[in-house]
Amino acid sequence: NAFHLNRFDFISVREQDGIEICRDSFGVDAVCTIDPVFLCKESIYRKLVEEAKAEEKEKFIFAYILSPTLEKREMIEKISEEQKLKVILVLDAQDNHEKNKEIINMPEALRENLELEDWLYYVLNSQLVLTDSYHGVCFSIIFRKNFICIANIVRGLSRFQTLLGLTGLEENMFFNPIDVLESKKYKEKIDYDMVWNKLEIKIIQ
């Protein structure tokens, strides 16, 4: 509550609208800072990948989906077919996992019971990341991967918008998976020199 928040000397949030919430609801000043995962050097994450048990011999698309829908499955399958790349699929391991498996219905692509190192392996070694996860986006950026983000309103849309606005990657987020297919945005290479020039300014602040 406001009493305890006011006891802090400094408060930071990941989302721009978090500043307004802190001010209007709790009467405290906050600043918007970069997500902590960006404060760790990429080399440290790569070191973790070396401990992964996962191993894929073929090139692949990594689909990390927290809120499955039939439309997301259609998007994944059509991009896979067009790009002639197999899919590695990971779902939310904590929330409604069995139900999510039924909805997405891609058993041949699904990987389960992963360690963190395996999850990082799949991001790092993918040709393309398709995700509705905020941290799926974060680590796509950290590993400089091409990615498409499906806006996930139930998972905190504001943090997606803040990060993508900061990095100039707003056009890589779609609200409708079918629009991804029409846009062909997944074929475009991301200019990560531009992205990291913007990020590094925020990281050192």
Distance in angstroms (rounded) separating the CA atoms of residues 50 and 189: 26
Report the candidate in 76, 97, 51, 199 with the shortest Cα–Cα distance to residue 138: 199
Q: What is the pLDDT of residues 82-136, one digit of tens each?
A: 999 999 999 987 778 889 999 999 999 999 999 999 999 999 999 999 999 999 9
Give the type of residue at 174: F
* pTM > 0.85: yes
Say how many C-beta atoms besides its own lie within 10 A of residue 63's C-beta: 31
Encode 65-78: b = buried (16+ Cβ within 10 Å), e = exposed. bbbbeeebbebbee
Backbone angles phi and psi of 195, in degrees to 5: -60, -50
**Distance between CA atoms of residues 153 and 135, nearest Å:** 14
> The tokens 């990971």 sit on which residue?
90
pLDDT, tens only, 147-188: 999 998 877 788 899 899 999 999 999 999 999 999 999 999
